[in-house]
Amino acid sequence: TAGITQAPTSQILAAGRSMTLRCTQDMRHNAMYWYRQDLGLGLRLIHYSNTAGTTGKGEVPDGYSVSRANTDDFPLTLASAVPSQTSVYFCASSDEGGGGSSYNEQFFGPGTRLTVL
Amino acid sequence: GQNIDQPTEMTATEGAIVQINCTYQTSGFNGLFWYQQHAGEAPTFLSYNVLDGLEEKGRFSSFLSRSKGYSYLLLKELQMKDSASYLCAVLDSNYQLIWGAGTKLIIKP
């Protein structure tokens, strides 16, 4: 199986432009997550979804939005990109999310390297 | 606030043993994870501890002391391919993963 795929692999974006980062998983996992990873910092959660139709805000949600129309897809949208959003973005999924799961190993996609100029 | 501390960088010799420490202060605790991340790649799962003690998995072992807010990852018989960053993460009371910044491990021949 493919696991989790992300697109694009990398992108250079002009400040003020919008962009959607795509994420698709084929493991039928309920929970999905978007992280950003910056040098010297740990992975920071942007948004998450515990199940299709629901989403929640993570640690750094400002400037980002997500939707979860079905189990497999979890796109992340930057409405008006700013240089501080230059980062590597990882999508992840797990079998369960929140509320009673004590072991939710997360599986990560290959990442999208985004540069905002 | 929530905090995960681990050394920024460590160097070890091929064939040797290295211990990577992680201390945490989080709102609640529902388990601790170790992930490996090679440069330019995604993190991959190594281990999970929720009870105190040592979990052994081949060349890698992970230890947890909940009373001390402390864990370590022990890597034995180091190989060059073990050069990577090792990420410590704690599942908090809301079942959200709180991540450390990672320890970059450099293996020298």
pLDDT at residue number A100: 44
| CB-based contact B98 A42, cutoff 8 Å | yes
Interface residue A110 vs chain B (CB under 8 A):
yes
pLDDT digits (tens, 9 = 90+) for B23-60: 999 989 999 999 999 999 999 999 999 999 999 999 99
**Rounded Cα distance, A50 and A66, in Å:** 13
Residue A56 CB burial class (10 angstroms; 0-12, 13-18, ≥19): middle
| pLDDT (mean) for B78-98 | 93
Radius of gyration, alpha carbons of chain B: 13
Q: Which residue of A has its CA nearest to B9?
A: A40
| pLDDT (mean) for B6-17 | 97
Task: Provide, rounded to the nearest whole percent, the portion of chain A with pLDDT above 70.
Answer: 93
pLDDT at residue number A99: 45
| CB-based contact B87 A111, cutoff 8 Å | no
| pLDDT (mean) for B53-80 | 96
pLDDT of A97 higher than 80: no
pLDDT at residue number A101: 45
DSSP E strands: which ranges in chain A?
4-7, 10-13, 19-25, 31-37, 44-49, 56-57, 64-66, 76-78, 87-94, 107-108, 112-116
Place of tokens 């040592």: B54
**Minimal CA separation from B80 to chain A, in Å:** 22
**Minimal CA separation from A3 to chain B, in Å:** 12
Interface residue B57 vs chain A (CB under 8 A):
no
Interface residue A25 vs chain B (CB under 8 A):
no
Assign B96 a pLDDT band (cuts: 50, 70, 90): confident
Interface residue A97 vs chain B (CB under 8 A):
yes
A83: helix, coil or strand?
A: helix
Interface residue B29 vs chain A (CB under 8 A):
no
Q: What are the chain A neighbours of B31 within 8 Å (beta carbons)?
A: 102-103
pLDDT digits (tens, 9 = 90+) for A7-27: 999 999 999 999 999 999 999
Asked if residues B48 and B60 have their Cβ atoms less than 8 Å apart, the reply is no
| pLDDT (mean) for A85-112 | 82
| pLDDT (mean) for A59-71 | 97
Assign A69 a pLDDT band (cuts: 50, 70, 90): very high
pLDDT at residue number A1: 59
Asked if residues A36 and A112 have their Cβ atoms less than 8 Å apart, the reply is no
Report in angstroms the alpha-carbon separations of A43 from A58, A98, B79. Answer: 11, 18, 26
Assign A56 a pLDDT band (cuts: 50, 70, 90): very high
pLDDT of B61 higher than 50: yes
Whole-number average pLDDT of chain B = 95
| CB-based contact A43 B91, cutoff 8 Å | no
Whether the bond between A8 and the residue before it is cis, its omega within 30 degrees of 0, is yes
**Rounded Cα distance, B17 and B104, in Å:** 15
Asked if residues B18 and B76 have their Cβ atoms less than 8 Å apart, the reply is no
Task: Provide, rounded to the nearest whole percent, the portion of chain B with pLDDT above 70.
Answer: 100
3-state helix, strand, coil in chain B (%, to 5): 5, 55, 40
Interface residue B91 vs chain A (CB under 8 A):
yes
Q: What phi and psi, each to the nearest 5 degrees, are found at residue A95?
A: -65, -40
